[in-house]
Chains A and B, each alone.
Chain A
Amino acid sequence: MQRLTKLISLAALLVAPSLATAAEVNVVSWGGAYTESQKLGYGDPYQEMSGVQVNWLDYQGNLDSIKSQVESGTITYDIIDVFAKDTITGCDEGYFVEFDFDNDFPPAPDGTPASQDFFAPMPSKCAVGNILYSWNYAYHTDNINFPGTYPSTIGDFFDPDKYPGKRSIYGSAMSNLEIALMADGVPSSEVYDYMLDNGIDRALDKLTELCTHPKGGCITWSAGAQPPEQLVSGEVIMATGWNGRHFNAIQKEGSPLKMVWDGQLLDYEYFALVNGGPNQEEAMKALQYFTSTEGLAGSAKHIAYAPFRISSLDVITAAEPWYYSEESGPLEIMPHMPTAPVNTENYLLLDPIFWADNETEINDQWDAWKSNTL
């Protein structure tokens, strides 16, 4: 069996060089407006600067494609944009390269070493921070089902009596359990302590109440582009989602959506460098630029995700209005960031270690719940 695998990889090796022409780097990310912001923010500038072609590929999370690439010995990804919990698993499995952080990544313009310039310590040695984004919910302001007042709290999402209509929630347990507990009155600082202590059952009860309510009901989404689409088509009246996607629908497509920041889940997003990728050296150089002060600030020109570097925020603040799209014109981006003071009155920081530890078990229960309730 091993000989056969060797033979196949040998064949692949013989074919591979004839395919690779110029230097290139394959970056895998979440697609849609987000990938667009990455491409315009640092992908294209880097390509112009270095002459290295940056190819953007889409995926919907999970490490399965990396795993199968590693097992078959033909790795095609170089850089991958991943959840924190996946940097932990990917690092443990040896799929990703471990960084020597301050040596591998450039300091801030004022000389602050990279490790100090990033907002938070990395969840694993294989992760380099990219953005801070939010899981919040949005609604369609034209929706006829709303009475005079618009939803303003996380509790309103779970109140079909007040706001009748279907909701769209994320397809996995992550994010749903947290917001359900917050809506049920658990203070955000206690959510994770409470989670393993009957918290999961309580969160699922809260969701059951919403999803089986005659005036409520739930559907799920899996791709980031779905929640705004479902809101615009009228399929649902409220949807949780990633704030940049809602923002994009509002600014670039002119959709009358509005976000509610109460009870938002703040989360970090990371890049990882694939171990044994086809262009590992070039990829490392590209990654250094992507996550530099300039690179990270660049992507915020196109989407409302906060750059992971403190120095990037300084760059943006000094040059407001920083955001620009043809449809919206120049726009001050800082008030739209998930980290803006007005948006962080009641928030929770997502705990990746909790999810790396418990995801498998929680998702068993979650899937059983889902197939019996939804």
Chain B
Amino acid sequence: MTNGEIRTSDGELLSVKLKKVESRKRTGALILVLPLLLFIIITYIFPIIQMLQRSVDNTQMNDLLNNTYQVIQNWDGSDFPPEEVVKTFYNDLKYLSENKLHGKIAVRLNYEKGGFSSLIKKTVRKLDSFDTNGNYLQQFKEIHKRWADQEYWLALKRATVPYHGRKYLASFDFKQDFDGSIVRIEEKKRINVTLWLRTIYVALGVTLCCLILAYPIAHLLSVLPTRYSNLLMICVLLPFWTSLLVRTSSWMVLLQTQGVLNDFLVFLGIVADENRLELMYNMTGTFIAMTQILLPFMVLPLYSVMKTISPSLMRAATSMGATPFHAFRKIYFPLTYAGISAGSILVFVLAIGYYITPALVGGAKGTLISNRIAYHMQSTLDWSYATAMATILLVGVLVVYYVYNRVVGIDNMRLG
């Protein structure tokens, strides 16, 4: 006890010892969460990084046609490319066809401009009969009339850059014109903007429907005696535990024009047999099925908040002369804000990326942006287009999350 330092029994400084213990605890905790951390990095973070990269990455095309890329960038895009560019392209093509790689550029050029697929193959078949002394452009034009269309050369120029943001433009129905300006695509081909707006509309609509339906249920759950509320809770949770696909297909059985619901309405005489309601393959179907499927995500956060509201508060309000409605509006409702916001963000975020349900019951009018992403993944195989749209969706969700966190605070999210 000479200089006032506190030491432990083994003579170490207490502050140092404490730090050691703390750090050992931290390491222990880290080791415990390490499997989860690795799991998330491998299955979540890593694919997302790859996705982001894929949406702008065009290095494969750039590698295959690198010589052409070097010279075609100097062509300003007016008229036809100079002879030197065409000659380089010829040499690249010849090299690719000798190594059986021309198919890969045919597919990718075809994303840029329809018709390239057969154009490249026809051209490759005639490469050997080329007169290599000059006049390349003329010879290309003689092989196929499409080479006499400037659009194809411009597409070639666009398609060889190593990185590009064109798929992001295309996701909003824009494209880059030959002079570099950004313009909207032809009206009859515009589809993405419609789908983005529809997706937001459906997500908001479903959130609202869920809120209206879930609020009374959650309230009932929170005030009923335990044995009844448990039963009701099971009713809420049972669909939650049922496979999504099963629930969606049961909605298909119910909603068809020849389905249970329509049969029942016809039986009651509410609708005539020849005027059965169109409840499926349109927006109605998407709304009904998604609302039912996402309902538990609204009920649970609301319930967890309502459970904590003391019933004496409402009694106090009424005893001071408030009408039941007034007491609800002034006391009860504001106390459930946290639950409403938590439920709403959960439902909204889930709804905005919904895929199976709109794909099965939505028909053409009820398809959402996620179905469009799937279409590019599965059908056109243009994965950079699909990943660009997926990235936009991800960023959208992150923005919603950020706003929520600023306004309400993520700590308020509870599920029961």
Q: Which residues of A contact B (CB under 8 A)?
A: 1, 4, 62-64, 67, 88-89, 91-94, 172, 201, 219-220, 233-235, 353, 356-365, 367-374
Contacts and interface: CB of A to CB of B under 8 A. Distances in A.
- 9 closest cross-chain pairs (CB), A and B: A92-B103, A374-B364, A368-B191, A361-B114, A64-B378, A370-B364, A358-B114, A62-B378, A364-B189
Interface of B: 42, 46, 50, 100, 102-104, 106-107, 110-111, 114-119, 188-191, 194-195, 198, 256-258, 281, 363-365, 367, 372, 375, 377-383
Of B100, B114, B363, most A-chain CB atoms within 10 Å: B114
23 contacts: A1-B46, A62-B378, A64-B379, A89-B381, A92-B103, A93-B103, A220-B364, A233-B256, A357-B115, A357-B117, A358-B114, A358-B115, A360-B114, A361-B189, A363-B379, A364-B189, A365-B188, A367-B375, A368-B188, A368-B190, A370-B364, A371-B191, A371-B195
Contacts of A357: 110, 114-119
Contacts of A359: 114, 380
A142 to B, nearest CB: 14
A372 B50 CA distance: 34
Of A356, A357, A359, most B-chain CB atoms within 10 Å: A357
Nearest to B377: A64
Contacts of A371: 191, 194-195, 198, 364-365, 367
Contacts of A94: 100, 103-104
A219 B363 CA distance: 7
B381 A67 contact: yes
A364 B257 CA distance: 29
B41 to A, nearest CB: 10
Contacts of B256: 233, 235
Query: Interface residues of A: mostly helix, strand, loop or mixed?
Result: helix
Given A94-B103, A363-B379, 10 more contacts: A172-B379, A220-B363, A356-B110, A357-B117, A361-B189, A362-B114, A367-B375, A371-B364, A371-B367, A374-B365
Contacts of B107: 89, 92-93
A91 B379 contact: no
Given A94-B103, A233-B258, A360-B111, A365 B378 contact: no
A64 B257 contact: no
Contacts of A1: 46, 50
Contacts of B379: 62, 64, 172, 363
A363 B382 CA distance: 13
A66 B103 CA distance: 16
Of B106, B377, B382, most A-chain CB atoms within 10 Å: B106
Given A63-B381, A64-B379, A235-B258, A201 B188 contact: yes
A20 B363 CA distance: 41
Contacts of A64: 377-379, 381
